[in-house]
Structure 1
Amino acid sequence: MLRTRMTFTGCKSRAILAGCVLLMSVGCTTLYRNHGYAPTDDQLAEVLVGVDTRDTVADVVGPPTAGGASNGGGFFYVQSRFRLLGPLEPKEIDREVVAITFDADGVVENVERFGLENGNVVALSRRVTQDNIRDTTFIRQLFGSIGQINAGDLLGDG
């Protein structure tokens, strides 16, 4: 009877140990989480620069994640991918922004796809109707001001 009790205790402790090891290994498994939506290149190929309007773009590509600051602003689609590893803070490993701008009549003027490489905004693809590319898009303004603010300018010392 003493032998049976020792064997049962040994099996129980092994089962608890195996359960703890299993929980720890599952807790350290890398998980990926996607946020937002960015249209594929095939979907963007259906958007014709100089032809399509806001309504047709919304029908073909879907509603935008964000719109421009004014009524004449563009459509912005943002997609991010995060890596989660156990109890560590989630880390953004990929971000794509698709910007579709419109002219004053609401016709597609420009389609651009941006990525984030080493903290810098990188234009991945661009389609425009004009030869001169304006460098004042919403995305460039947003990312261009990072690091450009001087404390002396804010206090009036500069």
Structure 2
Amino acid sequence: MFGIIKRTRGAMVVLGLIALTACSATYRNHGYVPLEEDLQQLVVGVDTRATVDDMIGAPSTAGMLDQGDYYYVRSRVREFGMYRPEVVERQVLAISFAEDDTIANIERFGLEDGHIVPLSRRVTDSSVIDNGFLRQILSNIGNIDPSQMFN
């Protein structure tokens, strides 16, 4: 009798440990931001784009133009059980360049700063917002000139 109770208690402990480890948070890291020690080697107004590429590497995201600014982005996402993944840390390092291709500014932003940096924005404004098909047809009735139809 005591053997069955001991085995049951042991099985319950093992199942409890499995349940605890299954509900632990997991973290995913995405992206790359150079270390502060590496950034200390860069001199604003002296170093160029080529120097930045050699010292800390080219970023995965750059400005929209060929000679745009550099953006290094790193995110850490926490996944916990059945809950939606949550971004717990985000760093954006922005290196802007002057017209002579030297470093103009080095800035670091995080989630706590509240700055929104759109890295990719693919939005096209449409002239038919809030206009349904029938509204578009009916609004053009007065704009038709019969003389243009028959020359």
Normalising by structure 1, what TM-score?
0.66
Deviations 1:18-50 (A, max 9, x none): 221011111222333322111222221211111
Query: Which residue in 2 is equivalent to 1:85?
Result: 80
Query: Which residue in 2 is equivalent to 1:68?
Result: 63
Return 90-99 or 14-23, whichever deviates more.
Answer: 14-23
Using the aligned pairs only, state the percent identity.
36
Contact 1:30–1:84 under 8 Å retained in 2: yes
Distance 1:18 1:40 in 2: 44
Query: Which residue in 1 is equivalent to 2:17?
Result: 22
Name the structure with the higher strand share: 1
Normalising by structure 2, what TM-score?
0.68
The alignment status of 1:116 with 2:90, answered yes or no, reads no
Give the match's secondary structure for 1:39: coil
Query: Which residue in 1 is equivalent to 2:38?
Result: 43
Gaps of 5+ in 2: 122-126, 132-151
Query: Which residue in 1 is equivalent to 2:97?
Result: 102
Structure 1 pair 110–156 and aligned structure 2 pair: CA distance change class (3 A): farther
Q: Which amino acid is 1:155 matched to?
A: I
The alignment status of 1:155 with 2:150, answered yes or no, reads no
Distance 2:101 2:53 in 1: 12
